[in-house]
Structure 1
Amino acid sequence: MPQGHPGTMALATLALTAIDCPEPRRLAEFYAAVLGGEVKDDQTDDGHWIDLYLPGGQRLAFQKVPDLRPPEWPRADRNSQQLHLDLDVEDIDAAQERVLALGARPLDVDDDGGKRGFRVYADPAGHPFCLCRA
């Protein structure tokens, strides 16, 4: 049975996080290059759903939405981010170089000389994610 906070029992366990995007395979391969893992396509839905099985057992899924309007960073009024990933890294400069080479684009990378501890990027589909100093 899943466990929650001490003294409570969890109702469920997290199965996966699904991310809408126009090109599921491309975005799954981007995150596989960033996080590791294995991209799997069950071949039954013409590429509309792709899974990324991460080391450690977590799973990200990528769902095709052809007319996706990506979130705007930082916006709180309309079309704001609904979800973003925080990714811990040992060397933020090396990680930045790598994600940019993979197709990410910088949104807010002024981390005040390291004082802030994170930098914000958009993945190839436009979803924000942060590289955070581990």
Structure 2
Amino acid sequence: MAIATYCLVALDCPDPEALAAFYAAVLGGEVKNDDADWYDLYAPGGHRIAFQRAPGHTPPEWPRGDRNSQQLHLDFHVPDMDAAEEQVLALGATPLDLDDRGGERDFRVYADPAGHPFCLCRD
């Protein structure tokens, strides 16, 4: 018997409204908020990601773990890796670890505008 029911993933960031808009552009869905320090993205499929203001937020360093661990990362399946990469870069993502082995890997790593790592994974 489960102890709990999954509710959401919350990401600390300096600008929750902007980061919610970034992920809404990546995933679709609707952004809602009750105050300036907390925004929710209700993504298709019933998933919820929250973004909370964290003054002094320091993003993790990829792939180093000596200063900050990666804290968490999100994985997203995409049907066309190159097209998805072009779109997330246009939205403000930063490439962290692109597949430099000629398509050998099934994922590429980026940072969102607040510095959180996320992966685009072949569907």
Give the alignment's TM-score, normalised by structure 2: 0.96
Instruction: Give me the identity figure in percent.
Output: 72
2:52 aligned residue: 63
Runs of 4+ in 1 over 4 A off after TM superposition: none
Question: Structure 1 residue aligned with 2:89, among 87, 100, 104?
Answer: 100
RMSD across aligned positions (CA): 0.9
Number of residue pairs matched by the alignment: 123
Determine whether 1:84 maps to 2:73.
yes
Measured after TM superposition, the shift of residue 111 of structure 1 is 4.7
Determine whether 1:24 maps to 2:16.
yes
Note the residue ranges of structure 2 that are not aligned, 5 or more in a row. Answer: none
The structure that is strand-richer by fraction is 2
Higher radius of gyration, 1 or 2: 1
CA distance in structure 2 between the aligned counterparts of 1:34 and 1:70, rounded to whole angstroms? 20
Q: State how 1:1-134 maps to structure 2 within 5 Å.
A: 9-42=1-34, 45=35, 47-134=36-123
Give the alignment's TM-score, normalised by structure 1: 0.89
Note the residue ranges of structure 1 that are not aligned, 5 or more in a row. Answer: 1-8
CA distance in structure 1 between the aligned counterparts of 2:85 and 2:55, rounded to whole angstroms? 28
